[in-house]
Amino acid sequence: MSTQQANDFDKISLTAFMVSLARQFTDIPHARELAQLVEAQRFVELSLPKHQDKSVLLTARVEARYKAINQVMAQYQITQVLELASGLLPRGINLSCDPNITFVETDLPAMIRCKQQLVQQLIGERPNLHFVEIDATSSPSDFFKSTVHLKSGQPVTVLCEGLLTHLTLPEKQRVCANVREMLRAYGGVWITPDFIDTASLSLSLQKDPDLQKLIQTGTNFTGRSLVDNNFTTPDQAREFACEQGFRVVEYSMMNAINELSSLKILGVDAEVVEKMLATQSVFALTLDIAN
C-alpha cells in the first residue's frame, strides 16, 4: 500500500457525488431526490465520462452495500448511530423517521455542511438527526464531538461505507483506533463493507468498462488509487481487522441480491452482479476483549 500526503481528504469528497448519482437508479428511499438536488444545484462540476452514472456495477455495488448493511443492522438493537463519511447517503433521513433512533451523520466540514443543507431542503429539521464535522482519521479523535448527541450507557452503532477504501494503511489504522475508543466508551458494533481486496475489485473492473472509466476518473480527482490502497486478498483484509483489536463477523453481500432494484432498473445481468457480490462482505466488528 502507498503512503499519502496529509490533508488531501477533501478531494475524496467528490466521489460522494459520483456515488450519489449512481444511487439514483435504485429504490433506496430519498436516493433519487438527493441526487436530483445535487444535479440541480450544481454543487460540483464533474467532468465525468459519458453515461458515468449508469455504470451498472457501481450502482449494483452501492445498492448492495447499503442494503447489506441494513440487513446486518437488523441483527442488533439499534438506538443510536454514528455514521462516518456520510457523504450523500440517505440512511440518516430514512432511519430518523423512527423517533427512537438518534442518528448522527458525520463527514469532513465542507461535505457535512452541504449534506445538512440538502437534507434541510428535503425534510426540514428533525430532533433526532444531527450533523457533525468529523475527520475519521483525526488524532486525537474528533469522534467525541458527536457525544453531545449520544446517550451514555447505550451502545452505539458505527457505520461507514466507501471511506476506508480510499485511505492508506496508516489512515485506516487511525480510523480503527478512533472507532475502538468509541466502542470502549459506549459498547456497540462497527458495521462496514470497507475492508475490501483488490482481487474482487479487479474482477469487477474487467466486467464493466464503464466502471473502469469511473474508477479512473475517481483516481484522477482524489490522487488516490483504490488498487494501491486496499488489501491484496480477503484473508489480508480479515487479518488486518483482527490485528486492529476487533472480533469480526462476516456477512456475504450476496445476502442482498434479491433486494437489488437496480438490476431491473438498469437491465443488469444478475449473474455478473452475483459474481461481484460473492467475493464481498460486510464486517460486523466488536471490541475483542482480549485487547
Q: Using CB under 6 A as the criterion, which residues of the chain lie in contact with ligand SAM when the complex forms? A: 9, 12-13, 15-16, 19, 84-89, 107-108, 111, 135-137, 161-163
> CB burial class (10 A; 0-12, 13-18, 19+) of residue 32?
middle
Which residue lies nearer to ligand SAM by CB, 80 or 172? 172
Separation CA 131–CA 122 (nearest Å): 15
CB of 153 to ligand SAM, least distance (A): 27
Q: What are phi and psi of 283, to 5 degrees?
A: -100, 135
Q: How much helix, strand and coil, in percent to the nearest 5, is found in the chain?
A: 50, 15, 35
CB of 249 to ligand SAM, least distance (A): 21
Which residue lies nearer to ligand SAM by CB, 44 or 242? 44
Which residue lies nearer to ligand SAM by CB, 214 or 273? 214
Alpha helices by DSSP H, the chain: 10-23, 31-41, 56-73, 91-95, 109-123, 169-186, 198-207, 209-222, 234-243, 262-265, 270-278
CB of 110 to ligand SAM, least distance (A): 8
Which residue lies nearer to ligand SAM by CB, 16 or 273? 16
User: What are the cell numbers at 274?
Assistant: 452475483
Which residue lies nearer to ligand SAM by CB, 113 or 151? 113
Name the residue whose CB lies closest to ligand SAM.
87
19 HSE (CA, 13 A, CB side): 21
